[in-house]
Amino acid sequence: MQIQWYPGHMAKGKKLLLEQLKLVDIVIEVLDARIPISSANPDVHKLIGNKPRVVILNKEDLADPGCTKEWISWFKNRGIIAQGFDSTAHKGAVNLVKTVVNVSKSKMTRKKFLLPRATRAIVVGIPNVGKSTLINTLVRKKTAKTGNKPGVTKGKQWVRILSDLELLDTPGLLWPKFESLDVGFHLAVTGAIKDQVFDLVEVAIWLLNKLKTDYPNILSQKYKFFTLDQSSAELLELFGQKRGFLQAGGSTDLEKSALALLHDFRNGKLGRITLEKPLN
């Protein structure tokens, strides 16, 4: 199954981002710590060009901590400053502000006659990666509108963080064509793509296959009735039966089962899992 989702407003958002980049000193790119490569928009990278960038591996509380450390080193080896961030627990806010301001000042080439001002940063990322939640964490109040589904942030919002930093939030942007099947599945599993545009059952089976390979003990620990010798399709059906997702006649409602399994993953009920690991 080829998963794609590129609503018309995202094309407009890409053009708007190009204009907004002229107003800022530095880019804060928010990635999903569970899928750092798949959650990086290649179109945005082209637009950023040589502008300074700091990478935030958000939702680190849901990701495998060992893998997050490996990803931070992976970015460092490529000359990119990256740090994990758990916006739900308000961890890393102070360090993030310091990092962004310091990186920005080290790269600035402002003319001497300009008066000192706060560093201006733009926050970019794909839908539902946690950009607005990150900003809310920094200001400790509901300044930027957030939601648990893709496409909540609309329009342009500047937010002042103390006297050192001003942030510009932007809507989540995907790109027209995902380069591989796995990228589409990664985005679907983590909730970056609306559930209505892909086959829930197929994505849930893909997730089960992935977990059986990379985290073989997680399923049996969380769901005591699972055994690894069962096929992923059988596991999904058994999962639905245990949850009581039955249709008329006693058959399992596979779509409800798939959605419940995906919610368990997205909410961290299966444990801390990273779907992508650095290759080198």
Distance, in Å, from the CA atom of 71 to the CA atom of 82, rounded to the nearest integer, reads: 8
Residue among 265, 274, 267 at smallest CA distance from 219: 265
| Phi and psi, residue 251, nearest 5° | -75, 155
Better-scored residue on pLDDT, 14 or 55? 55
Look at residue 56 in the predicted model and tell me its pLDDT.
Answer: 94
What DSSP character marks residue 153? -
Nearest to 93 by CA among 135, 36, 57: 135
Beta-carbon neighbour count of residue 227 at 10 Å?
A: 12
The distance from CA 196 to its chain's CA centroid, rounded to whole angstroms, is: 19
Class for domain 199-266, per CATH?
mainly alpha
Q: Region 210-214: what's the mean pLDDT?
A: 93
Q: State how beta strands 53-58 and 81-85 pair.
A: parallel
Rounded to an integer, the average pLDDT of 130-143 is 75
Q: Which amino acid is located at 218 in the chain?
A: I
* Strand order from edge to edge, sheet including 165-169: 81-85, 53-58, 26-32, 119-124, 165-169, 157-161
**Domain 8-169 CATH (choose: 3.30.70.20, 3.30.420.10, 3.30.70.920, 3.40.50.300):** 3.40.50.300
Give Cα 16 distance to the centre of its chain: 21
Name the residue with higher pLDDT: 219 or 33.
33
Report whether 161 contacts 169 (CB < 8 A).
no
Percent of the chain clearing pLDDT 70 (strictly above):
85
Check whether 11 has a pLDDT greater than 60.
yes
Rounded Cα–Cα distance for residues 194 and 175 (Å): 15
Least-confidence region, from 103-107, 130-134, 226-230: 103-107
Looking up tokens 């769901």 gives: 223
d(CA 240, CA 247): 10
Q: Where are the chain's structural domains?
A: 8-169, 199-266
Residue 208 near residue 185 (C-beta atoms within 8 A): no
User: In the predicted model, is pLDDT for residue 99 greater than 80?
Assistant: yes
The pLDDT value given to residue 153: 47
Give 174's contacts (C-beta < 8 A, 6+ positions apart).
5, 6, 10, 41, 126, 127, 187, 192, 193
